[in-house]
Amino acid sequence: MSDKPFFVGYLPVPGPLRIFLLSVCVVLIGGLAAAGYIMGVTQDDPGPGAFRFDYGRQTVTGVVEMTPYPVIHVTKGNDRIKPGDSFMMTAGGKSGVDSRAMPLNGQLAEVSGIILERGDLYMMQLRGGRNGLKAAEGDAPEIVAEPQGRWQLTGEICDGKCLAGAMRPGRGLAHKACANLCLLGDVPPIFVSSQPVLGEEFLLVTGPDGTRLPRAAYDYVAQFITAEGEITRRGDLLVWEIDTDTIKVTP
Amino acid sequence: MDAAQALVMAMQTWGIIGGLVAAVFLTIGMDRIDEDARGAYIFRPLLIPGVLLIWPIVLWRWWQIETEAAGWAGRYRAVRGWYGVSVIAMSIAIVAVVITGFAVRQTWPADAEPVQLSTGDSQ
Amino acid sequence: MSVKYTPVQWNRNKWIYDGVMLAGVAAFLWIFLYITPEVLSYEPAINPQIHNARAFGACAFVMLTIILCIGPAARLNRRFLPLLYNRRHFGVMTTFVAITHAGYILNWYFAFSSSNKYVGLLYANSSFGQIAGFPFELFGIFALICLLVLATTSHDFWLKFLTPPVWKRLHYLIYAAYFSVAAHISLGILQDQQNHVFTAMFLVGAAAVIVLHLAAWWSERGDAAARDGAWIKVARPEAFREGFAKITRLPNGDRVAVYLMEGQLSAISNACAHQNGPLGEGRVIDCLVTCPWHGFQYDVRSGRSPAPFTEMVPTYRLRLEDGVVEVHPDANPPGTYVDPLPLPEATPLPQGEPA
């Protein structure tokens, strides 16, 4: 050991050690650059969800229904949103529009905001206050709920807003805390089914008998689960009343 | 939620006490216990975050130095003996957590089909 | 070295060290942040905030892995010692990168909510009873706190104030932090990511840290076992080499460095007064024992640093008994002058061996 070069921090580096250290420097910088590239380019595709600012602000009229998450069944649409469509609504950030929608339950209302879209799923982020949601003139047609029976489904509970494109990626366990925070803020929860059920991949998921998603289900958010519950068609939306006692994590 | 709020408040309190300790230690305490610090002021703000985080240890050491409670030999007792225990514990724990992580990792159940258990009134 | 404290002590080698480190980190981040989104060209793209959080998180992991490899690498091969020299700056930089990662996460996933983002971080996911879905953020928070403690106590003042053994114990938190980072990654991104390249790189990094540390621990495990008796045998005089030391372990676990300088032997504590670096693995430069870690110097006869420095280490008494150099295990107070032990002029070779 004795004849090997001895490095002292505040003295010039001994000659034979210089080449070694120079190669270490090159390997270090090159290695970090390569690691940055490889780790960066191997990220997964976050999927097709996004805010559609390119569509511009959308304003339509329809019947408000608390499922208990607020849904609107369109009666007077526009170029993009047709009468007969049904969609969920949220406010800006991680909050829902429950307090604004509740007084208008079963009534005709005009909603205005930006669309979030992921495949068949879309949702509207309403403008603030009465600009986003206000009562409209006219008689509201009655919305008939059509029970579709009890189903066992496999898939993942997500928060509807992040899933629809507010966050990319907006699902999965790394995103679970964010999803829970959205659900706690009254953003509607969505169940992503492993395969289409009654033609739909995405279902609004609630507790039994018109209650909110039970807190017991929050532990399973973002995990892949199997569970049972009644499906009801409301407008063109499917609502799944999940029975939390039947939730099982898939292998 | 209450627990989380209490934790955040506890951290704030910890920081406030740390701030008070830092104020006293960096202006008065330091000059009393370290002659190298006398007349050196520019580096002191650098120490504030450290005092905020570990102020109980700061108070303990300050008291030890003031009372000369610690013998001189302790400074020279290298703690290399802990090294083996630390790295073995770390290695086992990392292997365990990585294996556990892989064991619970799920894959998207693409093959699972929806099963209708009963028919609805409108079917 | 003491005299007066300054915020950061610089010298040419530290500038080069920091330059290389910053160039590497800048290359990693710049490529991850600005090149890879173009290469991926996902439509719509990953949120910039999430992309940035991943870049800084991945960078912090890689930096921490490198830092943790430096120590054992230097123990196993002394040519890596220069990387140890300014490792503290590397550590502080890692902490800044990790804070940036935490900032992006906090201001994205936990913002836009009616609750305080710090409170939200702690209560949004309360699935403590399960492994998949466990709030892995907690592991990240713990690791970040460890890194913060290490970075904020990295100034030399803390070494002197806390004493090197306390400081070292505190800095052993790095091992807890690295485990915590591994748990944060294993229960976080690895649960989701479908492309397994990052998983493989993570495994290689963690395995390197584990293997190097275990190898370093194993290699020094065989050091002399504890021995009883007042005087401790060190070695025969011919085993010493001018300018270098032999290290002996005392029954109480302390180590003594016995140096041969100008034909005379002197013994000082093996633990440098600065960071408890192994003085016996250094060498004599300009009549002064020089620590291999940060170049702190001592007069081997008195254990004192040359003026104007004030560091001191304990000294030990030596004797020659039955042709063997022995050391007394009771240390003298730091800075105590001890007369060096002259070696016999010519040590005859044992009988019967060819010259």
User: Which of B58-72, C175-189, C274-288 has the largest mean confidence?
Assistant: C175-189
Give a yes or no: residue C60 inside a domain.
Answer: yes
What's the pLDDT at C88? Answer: 92
Shared-domain flag, residues C332 and C188? no
Chain B contact for A233 (CB, 8 A cutoff): yes
Q: Which of C198, C221, C244 is the last residue of a domain?
A: C221
Pair C194, C259 in one domain: no
CA distance B19 to C94: 25
* Residue ranges of C 113-172 with Cβ closer than 8 A to chain B: 115-116, 118-120, 122-123, 131-132, 145, 148-149, 152-153, 155, 157-158, 160-166, 168-170, 172
| Residue A132: strand, helix, or coil | helix
Q: Note whether A223 contacts B111, CB cutoff 8 Å.
A: no
Phi-psi region of A55 (alpha: psi -120 to 50; beta: other; left: phi over 0): alpha
Sign of CA dihedral C75, C76, C81, C85: negative
Contact yes or no for C198 and A42 at CB 8 A = yes
In this predicted structure, which of A139-143, A146-150, C87-91, C230-234 has the lowest mean pLDDT? C230-234
Contact C5 B72 (CB under 8 A): no
The answer as to whether C349 is a domain residue is: no
Tokens of A79: 């170029």
In this prediction the ipTM stands at: 0.94
CB contact set of C272 (below 8 Å; sequence gap of 6+): C164, C278, C279, C291, C293, C294, C296, C313
Task: Please report the pLDDT score of residue A93 as a whole number.
Answer: 93
Give the DSSP letter of residue B77: -
Quick check: A149 and B117 CB within 8 A? yes
Q: What is the average pLDDT score of chain B?
A: 91
* Cβ–Cβ gap A150/B106 under 8 Å: no
Which of the residues B41, B52, B59, B79 would you substitute to probe the C interface, choosing the one with the greatest number of C C-beta atoms within 10 Å?
B79
Range of the domain at C236: 232-342
Inter-chain residue contact A154 with B109, CB threshold 8 Å: yes
Q: Based on the domain organization, do C31 and C180 belong to the same domain? A: yes
Alpha-carbon span C9 to A155, nearest angstrom: 58
The residues, any chain, with a CB within 8 Å of residue C162's CB and separated by 6 or more, are B57, B61, C153, C170
Q: Which of C5, C120, C145 is closest, CB to CB, to B43?
A: C5
Using DSSP, state whether A72 is helix, strand or coil: strand
pLDDT tens for residues C83-140?
Answer: 998 899 999 999 999 999 999 999 999 999 988 999 999 999 999 999 999 999 999 9
* Distance, CA of C103 to chain centre: 27
Q: Which of C168, C187, C221 is the last residue of a domain?
A: C221
For residues C274 and C337, membership in a common domain is answered with yes
Alpha helices in C41-86 (DSSP H): 48-76, 81-85
Q: In terms of domains, do C149 and C293 share one?
A: no
Exposed/middle/buried for residue B69 (C-beta within 10 Å: 0-12, 13-18, 19+): exposed
C-alpha–C-alpha distance, residues C158 and B50, integer Å: 9
Higher pLDDT, B38 or C172: C172
In this prediction, residue B1 carries a pLDDT of 67
Return the partners of chain A (3 or more C-beta pairs < 8 Å): B, C
Cβ proximity of A156 and A249 under 8 Å: no
C39 touching A (Cβ < 8 Å): yes
| Helical (H) or strand (E) element with B20 | helix B2-24
> Does residue C198 sit in the same domain as residue C252?
no
Region C1-26 average pLDDT:
85
In this structure, the answer to whether residues C175 and C211 fall within a common structural domain is: yes
Dihedral in degrees, nearest 10, Cα atoms A154, A158, A162, A167: -70
Model confidence pLDDT, tens digit, residues A175-221:
999 999 999 999 999 999 999 999 999 999 999 998 999 999 999 99
Q: Do A153 and B121 touch (CB under 8 A)?
A: no
Average pLDDT score, chain C? 90
Which percentage of chain C shows pLDDT scores above 90? 66
Residues C268 and C242 in one domain: yes
Domain boundaries, chain B: 12-104
Q: Do C11 and A9 touch (CB under 8 A)?
A: yes
Has residue C355 got a pLDDT over 70? no
For A93, residues 6+ apart whose C-beta sits below 8 A from its C-beta are A185, C111, C112, C113, C114
Asked whether the beta carbons of residue C133 and residue A172 sit closer than 8 angstroms, the reply is: no
pLDDT at residue C227 greater than cutoff 50: no
* Residue A173: pLDDT over 90: yes
Which among C221, C242, C273 is the end of a domain? C221
CATH number of domain containing C331: 2.102.10.10
Element (H, E) at C266: strand C264-269
Using the predicted structure, report yes or no on whether residue C164 has a pLDDT greater than 50: yes
Q: Quick one: C314 and C214 in the same domain?
A: no
Give the C-alpha distances (Å, rounded to integers) separating C309 from C86, C168, C287, C305, C335.
20, 22, 16, 6, 12
> Domains (ranges, CATH) in chain A?
50-135 (2.40.50), 145-249 (no CATH)
| Contact partners, residue A118, CB within 8 Å, separation at least 6 | A47, A48, A49, A50, A163, A164, A165, A202
Residues C102 and C147 in one domain: yes
Nearest Cβ partner for B74 among C165, C221, C313: C165
Amino acid at position C311, single letter: E
List the chains bordering chain C where 3 or more Cβ pairs fall under 8 Å: A, B
pLDDT reading at A146 higher than 80: yes
Domain assignment present for C186: yes
Residues of chain C in contact with residue A164, where contact means CB-CB under 8 angstroms, are none
- B101 and chain A: CB distance < 8 Å anywhere? no
Count of domains observed in chain C: 2
- How far apart CA C152 and CA C154 sit, in angstroms, is 6
Report the distance separating Cα C137 and Cα C121, nearest Å: 8
- Give tens-digit pLDDT for C20-54: 999 999 999 999 999 999 999 999 999 999 999 99
Position with higher pLDDT, C275 vs C24: C24
pLDDT at residue number B123: 64
In a domain, C1, yes or no: no
Q: Which two tokens stand for residue A84?
A: 């007969």
Q: Identity (one letter) of the amino acid at C67?
A: I
Q: Are residues C83 and C64 in the same domain?
A: yes
Residues of A whose CB is below 8 A from B123: 147-149
Chain-chain contact of A194 with B112 (C-beta, under 8 angstroms) = yes
C197 reaches A (C-beta below 8 A)? yes
Residue of A nearest to C294 (CA): A9
Instruction: State whether C261 and C240 are in the same domain.
Output: yes
pLDDT value at residue C251:
73
- Is A95's pLDDT higher than 90? yes
- Given strand C232-235, what is the order of strands in its sheet? C232-235, C324-327, C318-321
For residue A2, pLDDT over 60 is answered with: no
In a domain, C352, yes or no: no
Could you tell me which residues come within 8 angstroms of residue B53 by beta carbon, excluding any fewer than 6 positions away? B18, C145, C148, C149, C152, C153
Digits of tens for pLDDT over chain B (123 positions)? Answer: 689 999 999 999 999 999 999 999 999 999 888 878 888 888 899 999 999 999 999 999 999 999 887 777 777 777 767 888 999 999 999 999 999 999 999 999 999 999 999 988 766
B85 reaches C (C-beta below 8 A):
no
Pick the range with the lowest mean pLDDT from C33-42, C232-241, C295-304.
C232-241
The shortest C-alpha distance from A206 to chain C (Å) reads: 19
pLDDT, mean over chain A = 94
Mark yes or no for CB contact C58/A39 under 8 Å: yes
Q: Is any Cβ of chain C less than 8 angstroms from the Cβ of A20?
A: yes
Q: Are C253 and B81 in contact (CB under 8 A)?
A: yes
